[in-house]
Amino acid sequence: MAYEKANLSQLAHGNNWKLWVYTSSSDNIAAINSSGYFNDAANMLDVRDLIIVADTATPTTHFCTVLSNTGSVVDVSDGTAVAETDGD
């Protein structure tokens, strides 16, 4: 699939840093963390911004940071998985 603008929301900002959430029901983290996935958001995302990526189909949640943004090509980190288990 592809990036969906309506699924990227800014949650907070301050000190030249922004926190975002991106939700997808069709793309997994391997697709989302690929270079170029967020190109259409290049004018909004800055290097070091944090994106909480929620894949609602799997379900999984990852914390990804913006590694680079040339103004047209955005690359994010592979992401750190958030454990979503319940041991009781």
pLDDT in the model for residue 84: 80
Q: Name the fold adopted by 6-81.
A: Ribosomal Protein L25; Chain P (2.40.240)
What span, in angstroms and rounded, lies between the C-alpha atoms of 43 and 62?
Answer: 22
Q: Binning pLDDT at 50, 70 and 90, where does residue 86 land?
A: confident
Query: What's this model's pTM, rounded to 2 decimal places?
Result: 0.92
| Mean pLDDT score, 32-57 | 95
3-state helix, strand, coil in the chain (%, to 5): 10, 40, 50
Share the mean pLDDT of the chain: 94
SS3 assignment for 26-58: CCCHHHHCCCCCCHHHCCCCCCCCEEEEEECCC
pLDDT, tens only, 25-38: 899 999 999 999 99
Domain residue limits, the chain: 6-81
Q: Name the residue among 10, 82, 80, 72 with its Cα closest to residue 38.
A: 72
